[in-house]
Structure 1
């Protein structure tokens, strides 16, 4: 939705279609890191109850860093290609746009604030978000009619059923793997290669990057968290930090070939071929990998906000 709107505006402004699509595509993974994020809830469930509130707070700085890295690359490309620059938006216009969006934006504050402060759980926060969004859509903005609700509810039930089925199957597989000592066997194999923490984390990241090329995020987290989390914890890696690292790594897969969903949807929405987008995406991939390494080896990027705002201590 955002890509379609922005892509048309960028095209009218004289931007190269491939560049415009690449910037829109590269920004997609940040939405999986900056809360509210279903991915963190799935990780919390499969990791044995890692704090959702801590995960939500931990995702902010890595998500912002990823966004800044993409912005720097996009800015350098725009400067080198001398792309047109729009006039400054008047302050009153910016304030007016903000006021129009203040009701939807307040949803984030209500949900994240309530979860972090312990007013309600992540599940209760999701229910509150649904009711609030439904109120805005039906009563305030009137974009949804009452007669549309049954189909919307049915579609949501189907989506949730798929996720719950995956979680159930993954939990069973996790139990089977634990009883077969598979995580221990994999841990021994990785530790046999090296006992160096840096080498092991680089190996895990490399494996997850390859997995992300071919597998959707939710199944990947459900399958590989029970394998890699015990290894990470044996190295002294905090489960919240590891959850952010794993999510950051796998979310890159949605913008990389051969099966990156956002990559192909972005090309379709932007009405461009993959070959037009990839040259612009390559430096953005590099920026993402550099940021991933920073998040991996500087735990405080992830843990600073949880420790500051909720006294998280692992």
Structure 2
């Protein structure tokens, strides 16, 4: 009975367009009522405990770092540098698009920041060079999904807290899969460039290269500082978020002087608003997780999935299919916070490494950001690129296909994900 109420109430509230945090909260109250009474003290304790965590500090800090880099002239410098490095390849600006996203992902940690920040520059440049607006928008949307895979990653932080996995290990685990995603998209871009005769840029001179490198050198150091600092044990992932914010302020405000006080205050307001929303989701998710554990719903889910799969590999296939469906209907952070209390018993039962699964679940949900009906990146790029949702979805299909190939590789070859973490966390 509890399982029926849990699924029915949650789906009804979602369809009624109630915010995710309130949906989880009301579902928790219903399950409490079924258990006998509402324990108000337990509600307060669990919700406060859900956000009273040192690790959670990384969430607003990485949000702030991404916004600072977006408004401080960093994106322009990264784009120009990538244009010099790979713009001469067939379909040059498509490769620039992907390379820029790979570099920017080492700074922002979110797909929407990449799409909204770099997306405007990339789409405008590609359309001015004669690329179709649908294709320009599609590759921009697809490349933005690299952001939460390559460290730092906001979804990885939330997953690590929910699953009790090492944030540092998750950050390192995403590096190779993120680069694989970029390589796969660039190979697809090369195919389209040859087939449709897309333009390419001129070969850079040594002078042009060094000028672009000089302008982009300090922004390029951001992922090196973050990843290197974590890998060397100089600071924790949460402290790395502080370093990213301070470095972003120095670059945007003092060195490049493109960040003024009104803009900074606006960035702070936006960060506070977004952090409050995420904080409420995490608080309600903690309560929700505690209640469904008491209702033994994860055990029922475990029995159901166990009936579908009897080995680790078949379970991973089932979970991938399930997550691809979920990703089409739910926002990434919400999906992770809702699903992890239910899925943790499955990871234990089938001996699935939580770090390995962390990259799998995030990549699945990134693909979901590109698919209707609720793909956030799909809507953002549709607006920026002035392309209809249906047209953009059609243009995205080849990119979704190559992302599914990468998903298959990291699912069935775990060492792609676990090799780097194993060097540090042994």
Report the TM-score, using the length of structure 2 for normalisation.
0.70
Aligned counterpart in structure 2 of residue 72 of structure 1, from 187, 192, 197: 187
Tell me how far 1:203 sits from its aligned partner: 1.1
For structure 1, the residue ranges without an aligned partner over 5 or more in a row are none
1:41-71 Cα deviation digits (max 9, x unpaired): 11111112x1111111100111111112222
Alpha-carbon separation, structure 2, partners of 1:152 and 1:282? 34
1:10 aligns with 2:126: yes
1:35 aligns with 2:160: no
Matches within 5 A, 1:148-187: 148-187=263-302
Paired residues of 2:184 and 2:402 also in contact (CA < 8 A): yes
Matches within 5 A, 1:1-314: 1-48=117-164, 50-308=165-423, 310=424, 312-313=425-426
Paired residues of 1:54 and 1:116 also in contact (CA < 8 A): no
Alpha-carbon separation, structure 2, partners of 1:106 and 1:124? 17
Alpha-carbon separation, structure 1, partners of 2:302 and 2:196? 48
1:238-276 Cα deviation digits (max 9, x unpaired): 110010111111111111111212112212222222343
Larger relative contact order, structure 1 or 2 (CA cutoff 8 Å, min sep 6): 1
Paired residues of 2:311 and 2:350 also in contact (CA < 8 A): no
Tell me how far 1:186 sits from its aligned partner: 0.5
Q: Bigger CA drift: 210-219 or 147-156?
A: 147-156
Tell me how far 1:12 sits from its aligned partner: 2.1
Alpha-carbon separation, structure 2, partners of 1:148 and 1:63? 31
Alpha-carbon separation, structure 1, partners of 2:283 and 2:294? 17
Tell me how far 1:147 sits from its aligned partner: 4.4
For structure 2, the residue ranges without an aligned partner over 5 or more in a row are 1-116
* Alpha-carbon spacing, 1:67–1:148, altered in 2? closer, same or farther (3 Å): closer
1:173-227 Cα deviation digits (max 9, x unpaired): 1111112221111011110223132221111111111110011000000111121
Alpha-carbon separation, structure 2, partners of 1:80 and 1:59? 32
Paired residues of 1:7 and 1:20 also in contact (CA < 8 A): yes
Alpha-carbon separation, structure 1, partners of 2:201 and 2:220? 25
* Alpha-carbon spacing, 1:119–1:54, altered in 2? closer, same or farther (3 Å): same
* Alpha-carbon spacing, 1:284–1:191, altered in 2? closer, same or farther (3 Å): same
Over aligned residues, Cα RMSD in angstroms?
A: 1.5
**How many residues are treated as equivalent by the alignment?**
310
Tell me how far 1:289 sits from its aligned partner: 0.9
